[in-house]
Chains A and B, each alone.
Chain A
C-alpha cells in the first residue's frame, strides 16, 4: 500500500502549490466576482454601490466598453490566428524540402519569440505610430510616404473604426508566426520520405502528394497550433499595454480592461467577473483539447 503511493509523496509539494495557487485562487476570484461593491462615503459610512451576486456579471455584460473589448478580442484573435497559421505554413512549405542557408532562415523567422512583448511592443509602437502626413508620420506611415504611397498611411490600432485591432495583430503575428512554422516544419520532417516516394511512383503530382499524403498527417499539429495561438491571443495583455498604453478605449480587450477596472475604476468585483469570463472562454477551448490529446495518447500506446 505504501509502495503504491510513494510517487504521490514526491509530487505532493507541487500538488499543494497547484491546488492552492491555481484552483484555490480561481475559486477566490469567483468569490470576489460575486461580492458586493462598497465604497466609503465622505462621512465615513460604508455605502453599497452594487449588491453583488450575478448582478456584477449583468453590469459587466451591459457595459459598452466591455462589449467593445469582446469585439476587439474577436478581431484580434481571427487575424492573429489566421496570420500565424498562414505565414507559419507558408514558411514551412518554403523550407521543408531543404534550401541553402535553411538554418539561417529558420533562426530569423523564429527569433522574435525570444523577445518580450514589452520590448517588441515598444518598437511596434514606433512602427505603428498613428501620425499621418509629412510633419508627423514616423514608422510605417513614413515608409509609405518615402515609397510614394502616401494613401496607404493608416491610423493603425488607434483608428476608431471596428477593425482597428487587425493592426494590433500585426506585431503578434510577427512574433509568433515563426513558432507555427517550427511546428509545421517538425511535422513535415516527421513524415518519412518513403511515403512521398511511394506516391510519386504511383504517379501522383506534387500537389496531390501534399493534398492527400502530407496535409492529412499534419492536422493534429494544425490543431495544436490553433489552440496554442488562440489561447495566447485571448491572454494578450503586454503587447497592448506597451503599444496603446494602459487605458485606451479603442484598443481594449477583456484582459487589459480588467486592469483598468481594478485600478482606475476601483471595481474589484467587476474586474473579477471579467477575469472569470475570460477563464471560461479559454477553458472552453483548452479543456476539450486536453481531453482529446489525453485520449489519443492513450490510444496510441
Chain B
C-alpha cells in the first residue's frame, strides 16, 4: 500500500444528504452521541482528579472525600509543585527545543537524499535506519551509560542536558528521516529536481534553493514530534542524569514517589510538568496527528 503519510485526517466529514430521517436513524444517532459523551467523560476523568486534588490544601485531603471538589481553593500544592519543578522545567525546555531543532535539520537532509538523491544501497541503509526506531532502548543503555560516565570524568560540561540532547538527536534520526522522506517523496515533483540537474545545479544547491524552501510543513511536524518525545522521555533521563541535572520527568517522578505522599503537590506537579506538551497539542494538534501517522504507515 502506497500511503501518502503526510495527508492529515480530512477535517471535513463527508457531507450528509438532507432527507427525512427514520425513527431508527434518530435513535441510532442519539445512542451514538450518548456513547461518545460517555467515553469522553471517562477519558477526561484523570483531568478531573488532577484539578480537584491539586486545589485542595494538604490538610483538607480526606480519603472519604477524595473525589469531592475542594471546600475552599488552596494554591499551596501549586506553589510547592512549582518550587520543586521549576529548575527541571527550564532544563527540559532547553533540552527538548535543542533536540527538536537539530534532529529536524538532520532529518531534512537525510530525507532529501533518501527520497530524491539516492545512492547505491540507499534503500538498505534507510531500512537499517528504520529499525533503529523500534529497538527497545534497554538494548543500548548499558554501554551508553558507560560512555556517559567516561565522558563525565573528562568532559564535565557534557553531563546532564547536553548528553540528553545528543542522545535524543541520535535516536531521533530514524523518525525524522522517515517523516521528511515521505514528505519529499510526495511534495517535491521529481521533474523539478531533474530540471535543476539539467540546469547544472548540484546536490547542495538543489537542496538549498528548491527543496528546503518548501519544507516548512514537514519541519513543523518533526519539530513538534521531537519536542514532545524528548520532553516526555524518562528512560534516558533515568539512566543518564541525576536529580540535579535531570529533566522535568525525572523531577516529577522524584516528587511523586516521596514518602507520605502530598497529593495536592503531586497532582499540581503533573499538570505543571505536562503543560508545555499539552499547549503544543491544543494549539498545534493537527501537526501532532500527522507526526503520529507518519510513525506508523510506511
A residues sitting closer than 8 Å to B (CB atoms) are 4-8, 10-11, 13-15, 17-18, 21-23, 25-26, 28-29, 32, 87, 91, 94-95, 97-100, 102-120, 122-127, 131, 134-139, 142-143, 146, 174, 178-179, 182-183, 185-186, 189-190, 193, 220-221, 224-225, 228, 231, 234-235, 237-238, 241-242, 245, 255, 258-259, 262, 268, 271-272, 274-276, 278-279, 282-283, 286-287, 290-291, 293-294, 296-297, 300-301
Contact = CB atoms under 8 A, between A and B. Distances in A.
Contact of B67 (A23, A116, A124, A143): A143
A288 B132 CA distance: 15
B213 interface: no
A185 B9 contact: yes
B274 A21 contact: no
B13 A102 contact: yes
B253 interface: yes
A10 B206 CA distance: 13
B63 A182 contact: no
Interface in B109-154: 109-110, 112-114, 117-120, 122-123, 125, 127-132, 134-144
A98 B173 CA distance: 37
Contact of B140 (A21, A100, A122): A21
Contact of A193 (B14, B114, B174): B14
Contacts of A259: 238
Contacts of A297: 1-2, 298
Nearest to A131: B63
Looking at B119, B280, B282, which has the most chain A CB atoms within 10 Å of its CB? B119
What is the interface of chain B mostly: helix, strand, loop, or mixed?
helix
Contacts of A135: 63
A221 B125 CA distance: 25
A279 B135 contact: yes
A276 B39 CA distance: 39
Looking at B46, B53, B120, which has the most chain A CB atoms within 10 Å of its CB? B46
Contacts of A108: 40, 43-44
A109 B40 contact: yes
B273 A119 contact: yes
B123 to A, nearest CB: 7
B139 A29 contact: yes
A294 B43 contact: no
A134 to B, nearest CB: 7
A115 B278 contact: yes
Nearest to B145: A262
Given A25-B143, A123-B267, A126-B49, 11 more contacts: A8-B122, A10-B204, A26-B135, A112-B43, A115-B277, A116-B274, A127-B46, A178-B43, A220-B297, A224-B297, A297-B298
A221 B53 CA distance: 39
Given A279-B135, A294-B123, A11 B13 contact: no
Given A14-B173, A114-B288, A293-B298, A275 B141 contact: yes
B228 A189 contact: no
A219 to B, nearest CB: 10
A130 to B, nearest CB: 13
Contact of B293 (A6, A119, A183, A296): A183
B244 interface: no
Interface string B226-239: 00100111110010
Nearest to B140: A25
Nearest to B137: A235
Looking at B127, B136, B141, which has the most chain A CB atoms within 10 Å of its CB? B136
Nearest to B37: A105
A271 B125 CA distance: 30
Contact of B134 (A94, A112, A178, A282): A282
Interface stretch (B28-36, B69-77, B215-223): B28-36
A100 B174 contact: no
Contacts of B120: 4-5
A301 B227 CA distance: 33
| 8 nearest A-B residue pairs (beta carbon) | A98-B13, A116-B232, A300-B2, A114-B281, A25-B140, A28-B143, A7-B113, A279-B139
A114 B278 contact: yes
A115 B249 CA distance: 11
A142 B135 contact: no
Given A126-B263, A135-B63, A21 B171 contact: yes
Contacts of B10: 189
A255 B43 contact: no
Contact of B43 (A14, A21, A111): A111
B118 A7 contact: yes
A116 B249 contact: yes
A180 to B, nearest CB: 10
Given A7-B203, A94-B36, A142-B63, A282 B136 contact: yes
Nearest to B272: A119
Given A91-B39, A138-B63, A174-B43, A99 B33 contact: yes
B66 interface: yes
